[in-house]
Amino acid sequence: MKRQDDKAIPKLEDAIRIDPKFGEPFALLAEIYFDQKKYELAENYYSLLIQISERKYAIYYSNLADVLMKLQRFADAALAIRNFLDKGEPRQALADKYRALLRKCDVAAFLMAHPVPFLPENLGPDINSPYSEYHPSMPADGSFLIFTVREKATSQSCRSQDGTFEDFYISYYQNGQWTPRKNLGEPVNSDCNEGAANVSPDGSRMFFAANNRLPRDESMDLFVTHRQGNNWGIPINLGPPVNTSAFESQPSFSSDGKTLYFVSNRPGGMGGNDIWITSLMHNDTWSEPINAGPTINTSANEISPFIHPDGQTLYFASDGHEGMGGYDFFVARLDLNSLKFSSPMNLGYPINTVADERSLIITADGGTGYYASTHQDGLGGYDLYRFRIHEAARPQPVSFLKGKVLDKKTRLPLQALFELIDVETGETVVSSVSDIITGSFLVSLPPNRRYALNVSKEGYLFFSESFDLSQSDSLKPQSIDIPLQPIEVGGSVVLRNVYFDTDKFDLLPDSKAELNKLVALLSANPSMKIEIGGHTDNVGSKVHNQKLSENRAKAVYDYLLSKGIVAARLTYKGYGDNTPIADNATEAGRAQNRRTEFKVMAR
């Protein structure tokens, strides 16, 4: 039966005037005003109720504490909790709940006494509306924003009790501002609910949660759709073991192209909603999800995970970790050696308040946060805001490389595999593909490493490039178009990630990742024969440069032999300084001339 609070209030006030010692009207009025978020009035009636008979109504100290928490009067709330525990004779479970809340009062008071810089900016009417907007997501280059809108339903299918449902909208960042939002449309949006989208850092995939989609399932499942030009493909249910009959939602995909964080209340967790992690394996199936563990998850609820493109910094919301009450934002950092997360840090007041904070993302450069809030300056419901995030809560800034892959001869776009390899460890830190329609690509470049970039496609020679992001001043985003050469006689590739010490010809260990790609190319094309060529700059004598280049070419030749490539398919030659590709008058030019390359001699 629907409550009629407006009619109840005057009748309850009449009852109090008739008998000011009758407690029930005070309790009901306090409850109504609490539900209406009129917390000052709720506090007044709970206080008057307890004054009637503290012994009889001491149990309501817990309700009074809840109200005082909403009013951010944490010292008073702590006193109310102590009175509840001492005089209210609560059951054990309820007593445990309020003992934990007592600790939260102390933490919240500390956070309020030490506020962090925070100046949220509403994204305005091109993004927000009188309805609710939340769960923002964008690729690493920030070129577009996809978010959930809860709006009035146009059909009876899947509508909520309030007549609304959820759809995705998109806006593009152009000329320093967000364009008017547009409904993402089919096949991603349906006549049922879609929510909690997460765009992969490379912009090629979008993971999201939905129910009542094929295969028809009333539980909330995770789906993925692939971007094709400006359109999105038919969503695919991730299936087991990721999806179960339990609740799965709020995905976040890491920049390595294989790690998915999500929320579930499946059995085996810490309690409530937990954050879980699964990995995409070589056969394009998902690993059995693992719980993020007790450092991240609590017996309460953890939601809205966001793994930053740095691959190490995890943001999430929790009502179990100590904070302002309700859901607060936290940040934890993954140690890449132990693969364990640090203890979560509360993002601080006034980012966190006594209201529920949810769905936070951080831009690739680490400086700006986007989140949903019910600030008083909003257009209605939840609105999307952005703000500069304070230093202590920032992730490592991430750069990116973007461009297009083209056939070198026809200039037509190609879909190709991208692998970003840590030169020192040989680990593939990012794996992605260029767009099948446009050939465009976006690769995140986490800081403090040297990378080998390898771009490959069947029937083509691979492309090789190197990036040194070990210095903080090297984080400027980069743009490059990549022409792939069809495998044909005369085609050549500069091996930009083959390294030697100065004036020496022993292969450095950092060269292995690149040379293993060459081994893979030769293995996939068993009739191919190549010449390995060594080249130097013009520093030193002709004789010395000729010998050095030949020895370097032979070092690569020997490595390929050691990996099982037969000698009949290989030759090597030193060219000295006779075939420069840049001006030897500058150090940058000389660096380009000091190179190792291979040339196709037979197809």
Average pLDDT over residues 493-501: 92
**Measured between alpha carbons, how far apart are the two ends of the chain, in Å?**
79
- Spatial contact of 121 and 387, defined as CB atoms under 8 Å apart: yes
Question: What's the confidence (pLDDT) of residue 392?
Answer: 96
Please state the pTM of the whole predicted model: 0.87
- Spatial contact of 146 and 197, defined as CB atoms under 8 Å apart: yes
Would the pLDDT of 1 be above 70?
no
User: What pLDDT band is residue 294 in, cutting at 50, 70 and 90?
Assistant: very high
Query: Which residue's entry shows tokens 């939002």?
Result: 181
Question: What's the confidence (pLDDT) of residue 213?
Answer: 72
Coil, helix or strand at residue 229: coil
Report the alpha-carbon distance of residue 174 to residue 141 in Å, rounded: 12
User: What pLDDT band is residue 199 in, cutting at 50, 70 and 90?
Assistant: very high
Average pLDDT over residues 217-233: 89
Q: How is domain 400-602 classified at the CATH fold level?
A: 60s Ribosomal Protein L30; Chain: A; (3.30.1330)
Report the alpha-carbon distance of residue 320 to residue 111 in Å, rounded: 16
Helix axes 24-35, 39-52, angle to 10 degrees: 160
Would the pLDDT of 2 be above 70?
no
Question: What's the confidence (pLDDT) of residue 282?
Answer: 83
Nearest CA among 475, 551, 553, 546 for reference residue 518: 553
Question: What's the confidence (pLDDT) of residue 250?
Answer: 97
User: What pLDDT band is residue 395 in, cutting at 50, 70 and 90?
Assistant: very high
Range of weakest confidence among 420-424, 462-466, 536-540: 420-424
Nearest CA among 55, 54, 63, 72 for reference residue 98: 63
Question: What's the confidence (pLDDT) of residue 372?
Answer: 92
Question: What's the confidence (pLDDT) of residue 215?
Answer: 54
Exposed, middle or buried by CB within 10 Å (0-12, 13-18, 19+), for 276? buried
Question: What's the confidence (pLDDT) of residue 378?
Answer: 82
Q: For all residues of the chain together, what is the average pLDDT?
A: 91
Residue 53: CB atoms within 10 A of its CB come to: 11
Range of weakest confidence among 154-158, 284-288, 450-454: 154-158
Exposed, middle or buried by CB within 10 Å (0-12, 13-18, 19+), for 41? middle
Between 561 and 156, whose confidence is greater?
Answer: 561
Give 325-330's long-range contacts (Cβ < 8 A, gap of 24+): 325/69, 325/70, 325/101, 325/104, 325/108, 325/354, 326/354, 326/355, 326/356, 326/357, 327/301, 327/303, 327/356, 327/357, 327/358, 328/352, 328/357, 329/357, 329/360, 329/371
Q: Quick one: what percent of the chain has pLDDT higher than 90?
A: 73
Average pLDDT over residues 330-351: 94
Average pLDDT over residues 570-576: 96
Domain pair 5-91 / 400-602, same fold: no
Question: What's the confidence (pLDDT) of residue 473?
Answer: 55
Average pLDDT over residues 186-215: 88
Q: Which CATH number fits domain 121-393: 3.40.30.10, 2.120.10.30, 3.40.50.300, 3.30.70.360?
A: 2.120.10.30
Between 334 and 218, whose confidence is greater?
Answer: 334
Nearest CA among 599, 582, 596 for reference residue 499: 596
Which two structure tokens, joined as six digits, stand for 271? Answer: 């309690």
Q: Where are the domains of the chain?
A: 5-91, 121-393, 400-602
Which two structure tokens, joined as six digits, stand for 486? Answer: 């069809």
Q: How is domain 5-91 classified at the CATH fold level?
A: 1.25.40
H/E segment holding residue 558: helix 542-562
Average pLDDT over residues 27-40: 94
Which residues make Cβ contacts (< 8 Å) with residue 392, sequence separation at least 6? 116, 345
User: What pLDDT band is residue 471 in, cutting at 50, 70 and 90?
Assistant: low
pLDDT tens for residues 72-121? 899 999 999 999 999 988 889 899 889 888 888 989 999 999 999 999 99
Distances (CA, A) of 357 to 120, 248, 329: 13, 20, 6
